[in-house]
Structure 1
Amino acid sequence: MIFIPRFTLVFIWGIFSFLVGIIIGIFRPFHPSNVRACGRILCPLGFKILGIDFDLRGQGNFKKQMPFVIVANHQNNFDMFPGGYTIPNRCVTLGKSSIVWIPIFGLFYWLSGNILIDRSNKRKAKASMERVTREILENNKSIYIMPEGTRGRGREILLPFKRGAFLTAINAQVPIIPVCYSSYHNRMKWNKLKSGKIIGKILEPIPTAGMKPEDSVALMERVYQLMKNQIIELNKEIEQG
């Protein structure tokens, strides 16, 4: 039974990594590359402790045009590992305002310049999305968003998207870059040395130049279908070994 010692160790490693992230944040508060810096501390060893083989593909697509809006599928709290490893330089995330109250992690998250959104308040949520657009345009930052808005937990391949990420990309006239992770919720064998494999794939940028706000729904639907099909293909590859 290695489940308990494995997760105890990864919990300790996570606390250490976030404390280092806080120190980085104190010396360069709200810097857009703080998230990547901490992710590259946390994730490589985190994957080894967890026995995960993480295969990330298509990283060159982040270099084709900056800034951009990344949209990724949301499965569970484990998302911080594939997401933390994937996130590029000068990129922050969009997260629930309640995250800031999580001990240690919340302080790291805030100091890293991530954008907090209160989805229960439409006025505040709209203001947060407007801030995202300003950050992209004025500070050359990219943004990592999980447009499902809630954890899928394996209920479906991909839950319905919310429109905010796509409207933001159109307002800023920057590309959307879909990032797809193979399904891992309830699929890992945590009591084995090799728990399983996750494939992450960064897809080609989808331009928004010339699009108008009224095009956001069509863009959202196009990206949703593209990502769903890609996740199905990644899952097939995992299953076939």
Structure 2
Amino acid sequence: MESSGSGSFLRNRRLGSFLDTNSDPNVRETQKVSSKGGARQSPKTDDAFVDDDGWICSLISCVRIVACFLTMMVTTFIWALIMLLLLPWPSQRIRQGNIYGHVTGRLLMWILGNPIKIEGTEFSNERAIYICNHASPIDIFLIMWLTPTGTVGIAKKEIIWYPLFGQLYVLANHLRIDRSNPSTAIQSMKEAVQAVIKHNLSLIIFPEGTRSKNGRLLPFKKGFVHLALQSHIPIVPIVLTGTHLAWRKGSLHVRPAPISVKYLPPISADSWKDDKIDDYIKMVHDIYVENLPEPQKPIVSEDTTNSSRS
């Protein structure tokens, strides 16, 4: 499976300049290499924007959301036809599913118009288990756009009932798991790992298991660690900041908040042991805490602080 080529689709400079997501011409999307310290550096939080709830901004937001919906409907329909023609070739359907994500995700971010800063792109084409914090629908658009070709997602099996998008997800040969009870969930996870190893794929997963309501990091589930233990594929954390301000949960108002995407260095799972799963979860969670701005860090209660000290 390819890890570059189409994996860089729509990320070249010429097309990137045409589909510039920045609403401010003085702010340009950057692809920076992380400096010394890597995952241990504290993020900068000097980006600011004016949160305007006036009727003009609300109208512009509605237009953008409708445009996003219509764009996704068109691209999803086009690629659904492509997938149907490629039914006998599962690997090609995965590849086309990624190209669909690159095209659609980039177009949606262009329509929304948020200024975007991207760092650590030297880690963006690894064969890896990509994990990402999740606080906004915009996270989905970014992941669709920025994950490399040869990447599949893992979602609950009920996604097939999502109109059009769910059917395309299945046609693109992405993975589904049955979460109805622990035993079936474990079996589904094993089958997912076998598919990843057999077809030399990467994975994308949200380790929190759900979307944060206020942007603050939630506890991580164990699934991504089990995947790493069974597949021996490194973990590449993707840290998203600002998306919870750009599109708040339960809101239909998209704001021009700056967004940051930061790929962190791969975390090798070669020496991991089954009896230290909780330690690995805490280690990766701590890396996110150190790389998120203060408003997105989890709130540590006094009881938790006292127990950790004791």
TM range (shorter): 0.7 to 0.9
Change (3 A) 1:215 1:28: farther
Equivalents in 1 of 2:253, 2:183: separation in Å? 46
The 3-state SS of whatever aligns with 2:115 is strand
TM-score of the pair, normalised by structure 1: 0.87
Indicate whether 1:183 and 2:242 are aligned. Answer: yes
Aligned to 2:289: 228
Gaps of 5+ in 1: 237-241
Q: How does 1:10-21 map to 2 (within 5 A)?
A: 10-21=68-79
Q: How does 1:76-91 map to 2 (within 5 A)?
A: 76-91=136-151
Is 2:105–2:143's contact at 8 Å kept on the other side of the alignment?
no
Pick one of 258, 267, 272 that aligns with 1:206.
Answer: 267
Aligned to 2:178: 118
Report the RMSD for the aligned CA atoms in angstroms: 2.3
Q: How does 1:1-241 map to 2 (within 5 A)?
A: 1-29=59-87, 30-31=90-91, 32-63=94-125, 65-66=126-127, 68-154=128-214, 157-188=216-247, 195-232=256-293
27-36 or 197-206: bigger deviation: 27-36
Equivalents in 2 of 1:234, 1:41: separation in Å? 31
Change (3 A) 1:191 1:101: closer
Deviations 1:67-125 (A, max 9, x none): x2111111133322111112111110011222110111011111111111232322221
Task: Tell me by how many angstroms 1:191 deviates.
Answer: 6.7
Change (3 A) 1:20 1:57: farther
The 3-state SS of whatever aligns with 2:163 is coil
Equivalents in 1 of 2:159, 2:116: separation in Å? 26
Deviations 1:146-183 (A, max 9, x none): 011111121x5210011111111011111111111003
Task: Tell me by how many angstroms 1:234 deviates.
Answer: 10
Aligned to 1:239: none
Equivalents in 1 of 2:75, 2:292: separation in Å? 29
Equivalents in 2 of 1:222, 1:113: separation in Å? 32
Equivalents in 1 of 2:274, 2:83: separation in Å? 35
Change (3 A) 1:183 1:118: farther
Change (3 A) 1:9 1:176: same
Task: Tell me by how many angstroms 1:132 deviates.
Answer: 2.0
The 3-state SS of whatever aligns with 2:70 is helix
TM-score of the pair, normalised by structure 2: 0.69
Q: Give the letter aligned to residue 240 of structure 2.
A: Y
Larger of the two Rg values belongs to structure: 2
The 3-state SS of whatever aligns with 1:56 is strand
Deviations 1:185-206 (A, max 9, x none): 24459878x7222111111000
The 3-state SS of whatever aligns with 2:124 is helix
Q: Give the letter aligned to residue 85 of structure 2.
A: F
The 3-state SS of whatever aligns with 1:2 is helix
Aligned to 2:44: none
Equivalents in 2 of 1:24, 1:219: separation in Å? 40
Equivalents in 1 of 2:247, 2:193: separation in Å? 37
Is 2:130–2:205's contact at 8 Å kept on the other side of the alignment?
yes
The alignment covers a number of residue pairs equal to: 232
The 3-state SS of whatever aligns with 2:293 is helix
Aligned to 2:50: none
206-215 or 19-28: bigger deviation: 19-28
Identity %: 26
Equivalents in 2 of 1:18, 1:76: separation in Å? 21
